[in-house]
Structure 1
Amino acid sequence: MEFLQQSFSVRFDYKVFFTTHLFSTENPGFRDFLTVEKRSEIPPKVLVVLDDQVLAHHPRLIEDIKAYFKTVANVHLVEDVVIIPGGEAAKNDEKLFYKIVDAVNDYKIDRHSYLVAIGGGSILDLAGYAAAVSHRGIRHIRIPTTVLSQNDSGVGVKNGINFYTKKNFLGTFAPPVAVFNDYHFLTTLSDVDWRSGISEAIKVALIKDATFFHWLVDNAAKLAQRDMPAMQYLVKHCADLHMQHIRSSDPFEQGSSRPLDFGHWSAHKLEQLAKFNIRHGEAVAIGIALDTVYSHLSGRLTREAMDQILQVIETLGLPITHPLLEVTGDNSPLLKGLEEFREHLGGKLTITLLKGIGQGEEVHEMDGALIQQASEWLKNKK
């Protein structure tokens, strides 16, 4: 048998910026980035996709963006802004995907142009997917506006939409060219959105950084009371841990190891069962609680550590259980979620559990009876 073999690697570089009032004409950050990035004598186009919930809280934002781009030389801002309904529902409606693709086509956005997405994680996922598949890849800039997207999903390399009622069934691995975290957007979040984004910080601390977890314990009350300096530290440190993981591990998830999905197998199922009427961060908090109790019941995690983890979740005002995750038998929907997660991973089940704070351990099977026991334990605690 004859064959030819090809092997090559592609380098990806992008920066995550931290700022306040990104579109103030006195803030040079975005302007400087576009100037440095310029690769052609032809002025690049910029198409903006905007979360309608962000616009509702910042009604002058479109005016501010247009005023800002008047100060950016040799860049053409598309006059019309694509406004998309925010929240997880945006990832369930394929018409919204085509709305972005249609705009890319109508305004002749090419591979030297930019698609700028401003919004929560769902809008970033949706717009990133549209950018990745249009012309086989348009340069994508993310401007996350929630705690969860600033500290986790917005700084990663994944894009996607829900399909067949399954979370992120369609998607791509396509890094952005830049991420701009503007802390000012966090000031208008509802209390529930402020809190729910912290669950991803708890997750990454538990599997990667015990010192950061103890900082969360010490600052949980401040964070719950919307202390901005504490939140800024959380966002930046969590984003740094997330980027370290992407850089040093398996960024495009060719294997089945996904430690950053700690607590997510049940969270994804809960979102599906709730018809996505629960915030991702709340579902993750519940998933973390379930896997924490399971880790204890399976002999991996001490009772003291378990209690401390559950306490910080509750201090932050996050839930630890939900009726839809109660296990009543072998055919319970939650247990079916394990099989769906295995399929999502590519055939081999890999779940991260805890053997200590800051210490994750991968397992390839879970005991259904023990999952039920963990679910009942949380229900009774509540």
Structure 2
Amino acid sequence: MNTLHQSFSVRFTYDVYFSDRLFESTNPTLLDFLQKHHSEGFRKKLLFILDEGVTTAHPELPDQIKTYFSRVSIVDLIPDLIVIPGGEGSKNDPLLVDQLVEAVDRYGIDRHSYVVAVGGGSVLDLVGYVAAISHRGIRHLRIPTTVLSQNDSGIGVKNGVNYRGKKNFLGSFAPPTAVFNDAHFLATLDDRDWRSGMSEAIKVALIKDQAFFVWLEDNAEKLAARDLEAMQYLVHRCAELHLNHIASGDPFEMGSSRPLDFGHWSAHKLEQLTDFEVRHGEAVAIGIALDSVYSQRMGWLSEADTNRILNLERILGFSLFHPALDGDGVLKGLNEFREHLGGRLTIMLLKAIGKGVEVHEMDPNRIREAIGILKENETQPV
């Protein structure tokens, strides 16, 4: 029998820019990018999709965008800036997918043009998914506006929407063409969104960088008090660690190892159990606490390190327990996480701060025990 063998690799590159007031006329960041990617005699279109929460906080933004591009002669801005609801609800609404795909078609956005998403992680996930399935892949630019999207979801390669109550059941791996982190958007976040994204920094520090965890401890009071300079460092370092991880191993997650999902198996289920009233970063903070206590009860993580983790989360303002953890509903998240990974359960736990260990099973009774400890000590150290 004859066999044909095919093997090829595809190189992906993209830059993450850190700026402030991106759409000010004196800020050259976007213009420089567009000039760098300009092809003589070929005009690219830009279709902007804006998070409604961002336009509410920054009502001047649509006019700023139009004014900025009125001076840019090498691209054509679609004058209809599409505003859609933000938050997890945007990923739960299949009609939004249809609406945005229809807009891509209506405005003739081809594979050399750009869909530009401005918003939090949910809107970026949704728009990235729409870009990936339209014409088998349209270039998309991300302008994240929250801590969580600037330091984690918005700078990665994943896109997706929720389906039948399951987190990111439909999705794609489609790297952005570029990401633009604008620190000005962070200053207007409400306290929950300011805090929420910091859980991903704790997560990546715990599994990747002990020194970064120490920095978080040393600067926790500043971060809790909304010190923008401290937050900018957190965002930059967290993004750097995430990007390094993506480049170093399995960027499209063909295997079952997903260390960056530390604390996430229960977080995804907690979001679902609360009808997404608990935000992703808040759920991740609880998931980190749960898996840290579980690691301690397994004899891997010291009591001192466990206390450091829980105390840091409390200083930053996180609650470490939610009533939805009562009962066995959250345990179903283990099987759903296994399905999402592709058959074999792989969970990241902790041996020490900065040192993770992968396991392929978790003891339900120990999970219940860890939940009980978090419930009992919700307002005091373990």
Partner of 1:206 in structure 2? 206
Question: Secondary structure of the equivalent of 1:159?
Answer: strand
Partner of 2:322 in structure 1? 322
Q: Which runs of 5+ in 2 are unaligned?
A: none
Matched to 1:140, the amino acid is H
Distance (whole Å) between structure 2 residues aligned to residue 152 and residue 214 of structure 1: 20
Q: Give the paired residue count.
A: 378
Q: Give the 5 Å matches for 1:89-128.
A: 89-128=89-128
Distance (whole Å) between structure 2 residues aligned to residue 151 and residue 100 of structure 1: 26
Deviations 1:93-146 (A, max 9, x none): 011111110110000000010000000000000000000110011110000000
TM-score with structure 1 setting the length: 0.98
Whether 2:342 is the aligned partner of 1:346: answer: yes
Deviations 1:63-99 (A, max 9, x none): 0000100121220000001111010000000111111
Whether 2:154 is the aligned partner of 1:154: answer: yes
Q: Give the 5 Å matches for 1:291-306.
A: 291-306=291-306
Partner of 1:68 in structure 2? 68
Distance (whole Å) between structure 2 residues aligned to residue 372 and residue 118 of structure 1: 40
The percent of aligned pairs where both chains have the same amino acid is 62
Matched to 1:339, the amino acid is N
Distance change (3 Å), C-alpha of 1:112 and 1:40: farther
Distance (whole Å) between structure 2 residues aligned to residue 40 and residue 300 of structure 1: 60
Partner of 1:371 in structure 2? 367
1:3, distance to aligned residue in structure 2 (A): 1.5
Q: Give the 5 Å matches for 1:228-247.
A: 228-247=228-247
1:319, distance to aligned residue in structure 2 (A): 1.3
> Which shows bigger deviation, 140-149 or 35-44?
35-44
Question: Secondary structure of the equivalent of 1:265?
Answer: helix
Q: Which runs of 5+ in 1 are unaligned?
A: none
Distance (whole Å) between structure 2 residues aligned to residue 170 and residue 320 of structure 1: 29
Distance (whole Å) between structure 2 residues aligned to residue 69 and residue 164 of structure 1: 40
Distance (whole Å) between structure 2 residues aligned to residue 365 and residue 48 of structure 1: 44
Deviations 1:257-297 (A, max 9, x none): 00000000000000011111111000000000000000000
Question: Secondary structure of the equivalent of 2:219?
Answer: helix
Distance (whole Å) between structure 2 residues aligned to residue 40 and residue 49 of structure 1: 26
Identify which of 356, 359, 377 aligns with 2:355: 359
1:39, distance to aligned residue in structure 2 (A): 3.3
Whether 2:48 is the aligned partner of 1:48: answer: yes
> Which shows bigger deviation, 334-343 or 171-180?
334-343
Q: Give the 5 Å matches for 1:74-89.
A: 74-89=74-89
Distance (whole Å) between structure 2 residues aligned to residue 353 and residue 325 of structure 1: 19
- CA-based RMSD of the aligned residues comes to 0.7
Runs of 4+ aligned structure 1 residues displaced above 4 Å come to none
Matched to 2:355, the amino acid is Q
Distance (whole Å) between structure 2 residues aligned to residue 115 and residue 286 of structure 1: 34
